[in-house]
Amino acid sequence: MNRPTTQEPALSAPSERELELLKILWELGEGSVRDVNDRLSERREAAFNTVQTQLRNMEEKGLVTHRAEGRTFIYRPLYSREQMSSRLLHKVFDGALDQLVLSMLRAKDASDAELEQLERLIGEARQRKQSERKLSLSRDPKTNGKRDLREIRGGTDEDGRYRFTLNPDETAQSSLYVVVDAHHRRTSSSTRMLSPTASGV
């Protein structure tokens, strides 16, 4: 029997004016038409009725929602700034990170500081990916973790717990020491400094 797949509703890209109101709501958290209009009026001339109409249209597009406080509608964004950015970028670039980064670099002359930050973020993402890949070895139901744990330097102690270390490479200054208690289904971990001659567990 095929189970229906749950898909996130399609996200309508906000117009420039709608994005302006979204930024205000992200700053406020939530607000009435008056709140949004007052904040917008600090930046440019704004009409209350126009802001009210825009917020109603944005709700129809699935960008905001509201709750009632008496006769006043309090609006809030349905997506955080990060969620909105992620979904729109995924929609435009079909999840292709390389195309996204290339497009950004071509559209803007990045400074040395920005390039260094990008390199740092890529390095951090790569380290997270490597750690996730190595930790996933211990969760393989086909092997119950035994074979995979030995592959990344480990063994079983007298209590039936698997102990192993995760080392990024042979020149690493520290290793992640992990104990998996299969009987109690618990996992603990700690970081240990490696001596120049350290090897295995």
- The 10s digit of each residue's pLDDT in 166-180 is 444 444 444 444 444
Residue 43 has which token pair?
Answer: 């930046």
Q: Which of 77, 98, 123 is the last residue of a domain?
A: 77
Does 121 reside within a domain?
Answer: yes
Inter-helix orientation angle 16-28/81-93, to 10°: 150
The two counts, helices (H) then strands (E), for the chain are 7, 7
Same domain, 121 and 171: yes
Q: Name the residue range of residue 54's domain.
A: 16-77
* 22 and 73 housed in the same domain: yes
Give me the mean pLDDT over the 11-38 stretch: 91
> What is the total residue count of the chain?
201
User: Measuring CA to CA, which residue among 38, 48, 85 is closest to residue 56?
Assistant: 48
Domain holding 66: CATH number?
1.10.10.10
132 and 198 housed in the same domain: yes
The SS3 assignment for 197 reads coil
Q: Which two tokens stand for residue 75?
A: 């609006």
Confidence of residue 62 (pLDDT cuts 50, 70, 90): very high
Give the domain-ending residue among 34, 54, 77: 77
Q: Tell me how far apart the alpha carbons of residues 12 and 61 are, in angstroms, rounded to a whole number.
A: 6
Q: Is residue 21 part of a domain?
A: yes
Q: Is the pTM of this model over 0.75?
A: no
Same domain (yes/no): 70, 120: no
Q: Whole-number mean pLDDT of the chain?
A: 71
